[in-house]
Amino acid sequence: MTVDLSAYKIAAIVPCHNEEVTVRKVVTDLKSAVPSMDVYVYNNNSSDRTVEEAISAGAIVRHEERPGKGNVVRRAFADVEADIYVMVDGDDTYEASHVPAMIEMLVNGPYDHILGVRRDTNPESSYRAGHEFGNRMFNVITSKLFGTEVSDMLSGYRVFSRRFVKSFPAVSKRFEIETELTIHMMSLRLPCAEYSIDFRDRPEGSESKLSTVSDGFKILGTIAQMMRHERPNLFYGSLALLMVIASLVCGVPVIVEFMNTGLVPRFPTALLAVALMIIAAIFATVGIIGDALRRVRRESARLHYLELLPPNKTVGLSESSS
């Protein structure tokens, strides 16, 4: 079904740090794709002409001094009122012409989250091998841990409903924000879909802010942290199992020797085995308590989510709430 985009208040959020080479084209392309859309460029401590270029292209420029994309997204989601939100990077690696189709998919679903799955238009250079391998690995890990398949969890091109944005806690500081967005969708089991998008090289003179190794470890740490919060039984249960195994490795030989001789010559080893078993019990208890807290937290988040209407019912509502 064709969607009248002008009937919705649509906001594009473009995080930028030193993107003077590309930001003008990004803003222009977004406005060409959806003329009625407000484009918000969030300047994150740029030292070049990013702000001037964005303003001259017709963007609404706002500032976030705390460094990191996560800080920008948290600020934007809190400040910007809209029915539908588009998030896209300011480096001109994503094709803005996909926005209308992604919004139509969101409204017609109705969905709360449309993930732009990158299709490399220049396989030789656009998508570095390290990034591609890491992305695939994180996709598999996250899909297995949280039970929902995802094809490109690190994509920076997404469309959200209002109720997704206003129920999203946003605790990440930097590039881990995409991971947090994906896991939020999975943990609340929100309706979502994927849309294949073109992905291209940064233009000459535009430099990537990503580091394959360091950012990869940060993302892996975020997955572990989110697993601790969202799957505490699995997280602490795994630690408890490791402690039990270590305790048995230390304790079984001592028990066997005691049964054969009636003596405990390796008393420190016996104490270590007992200590490890106690630690295992503590981990198991923490997992049980954490799971109870997770249920309460998830129910609260779900109830807040249900207070807001789906995207095909929110025409003009953001204006009345602002």
Q: List pLDDT tens digits, range 98-143.
A: 999 999 999 998 999 999 998 765 655 555 555 677 778 888 888 8
Residue 198 forms beta bridges with which residues?
Answer: 119
pLDDT of residue 2: 82
Which residue, 76, 79, 97, is CA-closest to 15? Answer: 76
Query: What whole-number distance in Å separates Cα of residue 241 and Cα of residue 237?
Result: 6
pLDDT of residue 34: 95
Strands 84-87 and 10-16, sheet pairing: parallel
Strands lying side by side in the sheet with 38-43: 60-63, 38-43, 10-16, 84-87, 158-161, 113-120, 192-199
CATH of domain 5-230: 3.90.550.10
Domain boundaries, the chain: 5-230, 232-304
Which residues in the chain show pLDDT less than 50?
322
pLDDT of residue 136: 83
Cα radius of gyration rounded to whole Å, the chain: 24
pLDDT of residue 73: 94
Beta carbons of 143 and 150 less than 8 angstroms apart: yes
Query: CA 270 from chain center: how many Å?
Result: 45
pLDDT of residue 14: 96
Rounded to whole angstroms, what are the CA distances from 289 to 221, 234, 270?
22, 12, 29
pLDDT of residue 3: 83
Beta carbons of 280 and 290 less than 8 angstroms apart: no
Which residue, 86, 95, 93, 137, is CA-closest to 114? Answer: 86
pTM over 0.75: yes
Q: Quickly list H helices, the chain.
A: 23-33, 50-56, 69-79, 99-108, 129-146, 162-165, 177-187, 212-230, 232-261, 267-306, 317-321
